[in-house]
Amino acid sequence: MATDYQPIDCNFYDELEALATRKKQVYLQYFNDLRQLCQGPATFKTFFVRNHVEYAQLGSGEEVRLDHLIRIDDKAAPGFGEYPDYRCGC
């Protein structure tokens, strides 16, 4: 995974903003800054740019780079279509 920021698709950004506006809880899968897979329920609170990198602030206060999002609910983020859904079907 590249460390340089890769801007996300504008349509995908619009979808993220809609989720934040509706305060909809989703099942989020993403890579953190240590390239570890993180997943679980989340809500998007706001979006911001720091050092030319776009981030989402989650309801928990955690910050996630938008280009590190893998999947939201059953939808793969652009560029991560080949990644499997890591949710446990237990």
Residue pLDDT, tens place only, 54-88: 999 999 999 999 999 999 998 999 989 888 887 87
Query: Where in the chain are the domains?
Result: 10-76
* Cα Rg, the chain, nearest whole Å: 12
pLDDT of residue 90: 59
> Quick one: pLDDT at residue 52?
93
Give tens-digit pLDDT for 20-62.
999 999 999 999 989 999 999 999 999 999 999 999 999 999 9
Fold of 10-76: SH3 type barrels. (2.30.30)
User: What are phi and psi for residue 31, nearest 5 degrees?
Assistant: -100, 135
If pLDDT is split at 50, 70 and 90, which confidence band does 1 have? very low
pLDDT for 87 equals 81
Contacts of 41 (CB under 8 A, 6+ apart): 25, 26, 27, 28
What pLDDT score does 86 carry?
Answer: 77
